[in-house]
């Protein structure tokens, strides 16, 4: 199976500090890959390069066979908006917006009409057990609720790839498991590829396989697990 998204010999430094030193990564269509490693190992930097947030100094980043490291910032922004979804550690919801507006935001930024976008947002909120909470603000949500809102926002535009950076890092164990159960379920149903950055082995167990990153390099590839 050809990779949907991949990094080839990726190099990136912040000033004189190397962050990636020839990192290699790939994920196939519908595959969930956990990127593990200690703090400062380069795993989040790798995710940001794969998502077109950062442009590497060397190597290649490809999505669906196309080099995205050669795209303009405008083109990479459009790619992130139209083909990628994101879930971050603290949700990063916009506090000025309601819950349903936060979920609808990717569609609104893409030019969708407000009514249709909000209706889709409400459908996702219902699906993730948040029906009736659409008019609340992010400050009125628990950590688990906020992450489910972030997951709905990340999936509303039917992304080909969902990037999840420590999605359970701010949650207790039980709530984290609930969020991961939902994340995996919706990704499997939609055939979405997931790049999951985590330092927690219990979270990595949800993935099909694990990539271990140390000092900006991929050092180990765990055996692939059977999909449930």
Lookup: tokens for 80: 């992130």
pLDDT beneath 70, residues of the chain:
90-91, 220-228
pLDDT, position 33: 96
pLDDT, position 76: 96
Supply angle C-alpha 45, 46, 52, rounded to 5: 90
Q: What sign does the dihedral 63-92-23-190 (CA atoms) show? A: negative
pLDDT, position 49: 97
185-216 pLDDT, tens per residue?
Answer: 999 999 999 999 998 999 999 999 999 999 89
d(CA 114, CA 202): 39
pLDDT, position 85: 95
pLDDT, position 219: 75
Q: Which domains does the chain have, with CATH numbers?
A: 5-95+143-221 (3.40.50.300)
Q: Which residues have a Cβ under 8 Å from the Cβ of 130 and sit 6 or more positions away?
A: 99, 145, 148, 149, 152
- Between strands 217-221 and 209-214, the pairing is antiparallel
pLDDT, position 228: 45
Closest C-alpha among 170, 219, 169, 196 to residue 35: 196
Supply angle C-alpha 158, 29, 161, rounded to 5: 40
- Residue 160 CA, chain-centre distance (Å), reads 11
């Amino acid at each position: 199976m050809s990779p949907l998204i991949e990094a080839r010999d990726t190099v990136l430094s912040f000033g004189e500090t190397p962050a990636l030193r020839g990192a290699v990564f790939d994920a196939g269509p519908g595959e969930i890959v956990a990127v593990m490693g200690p703090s400062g190992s380069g795993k989040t930097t790798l995710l940001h390069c794969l998502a077109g947030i950062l442009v590497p100094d060397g190597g290649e980043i490809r999505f669906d066979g196309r080099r995205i490291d050669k795209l303009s910032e405008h083109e990479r922004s459009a790619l992130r908006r139209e083909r990628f979804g994101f879930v971050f550690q603290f949700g990063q919801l916009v506090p000025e917006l309601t819950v349903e507006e936060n979920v609808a935001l990717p569609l609104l930024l893409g030019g969708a009409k407000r009514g249709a976008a909000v209706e889709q947002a409400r459908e996702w909120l219902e699906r993730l057990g948040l029906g009736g909470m659409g008019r609340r603000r992010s400050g009125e949500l628990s950590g688990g609720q906020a992450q489910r809102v972030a997951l709905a926002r990340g999936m509303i535009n039917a992304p080909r790839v969902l990037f999840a950076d420590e999605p359970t890092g701010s949650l207790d164990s039980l709530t984290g498991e609930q969020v991961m159960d939902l994340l995996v379920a919706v990704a499997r149903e939609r055939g979405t590829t997931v790049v999951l950055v985590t330092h927690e082995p219990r979270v990595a167990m949800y993935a099909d396989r694990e990539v271990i990153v140390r000092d900006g390099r991929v050092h180990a590839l765990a055996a692939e697990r059977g999909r449930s």
